[in-house]
A and B are shown apart, each in its own frame.
Chain A
Amino acid sequence: MEIGYFPGCTLKTKATGLDDSVKDTARVLGHELIEIPDWTCCGATFSLAADNVMALAAPVRILANARKVGDKVVTVCAGCYNVLKRANYAVRHDEEKLKKITDFIEAEYVGDVTVLHYLEFLKNEVGFDAIAKLVKRNLGELKVVPYYGCQMLRPHKELMFDDPEAPMMMDELLRAIGCNVLEFPHKVECCGAFLTVCTDPSARAGSAAGSGAAEAGSEAGVEDVARGAVSECSFTILDAAVRRGADMVVLTCPLCQFNLDSAQEEIQKQRSNFKKIPIVYFTQLLALALGLDGSKYALDAKHHYVDPSEVLKAKVTA
């Protein structure tokens, strides 16, 4: 079955392993993901300002283009999922807003596209039992914790994805493909998200050389605080995973992957006894389980700050 697919910008550069593993695993499971025509960046974050109509232009245009392929669009980036689904919800419940946007972007859209996360798609359209039957490679000894983060769960009223406080969809899939899934209480906590841009000290607005120096004096130090935010948030999550004996943290969002992966260097500087743990996408493990060639999915030191290849080599049959 052919279905529209929205990759998102990051999957074309930093998360190619995710993009390729999604497409290939879908194919093995009998579905062809077709990139929707003329897609653009979705905006990466859903604007929480009720009067920000401009921010809806991009997601609504994407949905209008998706409609040309079918009435469903699948995405795997949790950030894109959040933006598209929330934008869909917003225009479905506000006719005036929808009209304003469709007039502006000069496209037709009536709110009839369904936005699906790849996990939902796998559960509903394929079935985890069916996937379990197609497993060719043994991942049995791999201990994993599933990390959901924020974007695919909240706000529950709009996303309606699994249980927002104790989701189990990724756990079930990972179990179905043969992983040893560990209990993990931090699966829905924030990794720090976009605050990662504040990790560059030279970009601080509060620096003396910056504009608005008078204001900067009273607000200096905000970015210093934000700088450490990603490290701290990530540490809470990673530490819990390591202490439970996990070999890997498994997730679905490229931003979370970047934060959890890249923060470990900084964390180890501050806490010398911190043990690093690789961060991979659930689709990469799915690809391995279905017998696909792991070397095609960026599971190496070149694409990760913490190299997953050693653990995989040790625990997964070739």
Chain B
Amino acid sequence: MAKMKRKEAGRRPSRPAKAARRTKGAAKAKVAARAARRAAPARPARPVRRAQAARPTRPAGAAEALRRAAAATEPAGETAPGKMVEIYVMGKRYEVPEGLTIQKALEYAGMKLLRGCGCRGGFCGACGTVFRKEGDYKLRVALACQTVVEQGMHLAQIPFYPAHKKNYNVDELPPTLEAIVQNYPETMKCLQCNTCRKVCPQDIEVMQYMAAAMRGDVAKAADLSFDCIMCGLCASRCPGETVQYHVGLLCRRLYSRHIAPRAKHLERRLKELAAGKFDKEMAELVRIDLAELKKRYDSRDIEPEDADEPEEDSSGEVND
């Protein structure tokens, strides 16, 4: 059985132990797969993105008819152990338990995901993949760990989109359009078609932050792109060939470095520490015994005196 590998170069080189394991015989792989199938417990359906849950799949074949008849007698949301669905991976048919995510389904089918597999929780952005639903013409992209397989789904590998991340020193860049256009000039090819927003697994308003970037509104672009997990699916479908997620990253970095108000109270506190304001107290705390420490901790003042606090800087001024 074929093992899955990430198809590009440039990431961390694979460790020798893994490489050795990869070359082990097919027989061992078959045994392992069989064991995995036996060991895999029936699991309830993973929480699905509402959009995908709403779309019904078209049934095909006797197996499916049987499955649906069985489902009709069960309350919605529960899965009887042993219910299988047919999926196609790189064109080859497999049967996997219903309710698995694409990622789990690939592994169940015997593929070992060496790349394109990360947190498995929809937050690291490693597993962006392409698939198609049964009977449907649309090629869809989504995160493999968040998308539940459906009957007749066609899966592929989990690629990495090698978008060009420009080298820049955020300290030296102005927080304006200039920084964006000099590093990612293709941003100006954006057609405002909204394809990016439609494929974003985080429901980010990608087109809106690209529009903000084109206007030079770095702060807005940073704000709107905050939840980005850098999966690259937006860039994968962009007809204008822009790299939305890198533009968002640049805007967030520019915002943090140049626009976000500095924590003045932190700066002040650091100065106080350097000046030795708390040295005496610290020395004493280190010296006293555990019982005394606990006593002091329990009786500490949670809301410190205002007299010692610096004035509230509410203007949010830019750092000097």
Contact = CB atoms under 8 A, between A and B. Distances in A.
> Does A pair with B?
yes
Contact of A13 (B194, B207, B215): B215
A41 B214 contact: yes
B190 interface: yes
Given A13-B176, A39-B211, A54 B194 contact: no
Given A13-B177, A39-B211, A58 B191 contact: yes
B47 interface: no
Nearest to A104: B193
Nearest to A38: B208
Contacts of B207: 40
A41 B190 contact: yes
Interface string A1-28: 0000000010011000000000000000
A57 B176 CA distance: 27
B239 interface: yes
Contacts of A58: 191-193
B159 interface: no
Nearest to B239: A54
A57 B217 contact: no
A55 B217 contact: no
A56 to B, nearest CB: 10
B216 A13 contact: yes
Interface string B173-193: 000110000000000001111
Given A54-B193, A57-B191, A12 B216 contact: yes
A187 interface: no
Contacts of B216: 9, 12-13
Interface residues of B, number: 16
A108 B145 CA distance: 35
A86 interface: no
Q: Mostly helix, strand, loop or mixed at chain A's interface?
A: helix
Nearest to B240: A54
B208 A55 contact: no
Interface string B207-221: 110110011110000
Interface string A204-223: 00000000000000000000
Interface string B65-78: 00000000000000
Interface string A33-62: 000001111010000000000110110010
Most buried by A among B192, B207, B210, B214: B192
Given A38-B208, A40-B207, A54 B217 contact: no
B245 to A, nearest CB: 18
A79 to B, nearest CB: 14
B194 A9 contact: no
Contacts of A130: none
Contact of B211 (A41, A54, A57, A106): A41
A105 interface: yes
B303 to A, nearest CB: 42
Contacts of B211: 38-41
A61 B217 contact: no
B215 A57 contact: no
Contacts of B214: 9, 40-41
- Place the interface of chain A in its size category: 10 to 19
A61 B192 contact: yes
Contacts of A39: 211
Nearest to A58: B192
Contacts of A54: 191, 193, 239
Nearest to A41: B214
Contacts of A40: 192, 207-208, 210-211, 214
Contacts of B210: 40
A106 B215 CA distance: 23
Contacts of A55: 191
Contacts of A13: 176-177, 215-216
B14 to A, nearest CB: 33
Contacts of B217: 12
B192 A57 contact: yes
B244 to A, nearest CB: 13
Contacts of A61: 192, 194
A104 B194 CA distance: 9
Contacts of A105: 193-194
Contacts of B176: 13
B254 to A, nearest CB: 15
Nearest to A8: B215
Nearest to B177: A13
B248 to A, nearest CB: 16
Nearest to B193: A57
Contacts of B194: 57, 61, 105-106
A61 B194 CA distance: 10
Interface in A89-132: 104-106
Nearest to B185: A203
A39 B212 CA distance: 9
A298 B236 CA distance: 41
A43 B214 CA distance: 11
Contacts of B193: 54, 57-58, 104-105
B251 to A, nearest CB: 14
21 contacts: A9-B214, A9-B215, A12-B216, A12-B217, A13-B216, A38-B211, A40-B208, A40-B210, A40-B211, A41-B190, A41-B192, A41-B214, A41-B215, A43-B191, A43-B192, A54-B239, A57-B193, A58-B193, A104-B193, A105-B194, A106-B194
Interface of B: 176-177, 190-194, 207-208, 210-211, 214-217, 239
Question: Which 7 residue pairs of A and B lie closest in terms of their CB atoms, listed nearest first?
Answer: A40-B211, A58-B192, A13-B216, A40-B192, A12-B215, A9-B215, A41-B214
Given A55-B191, A57-B194, 5 more contacts: A9-B216, A13-B216, A40-B192, A40-B211, A54-B193
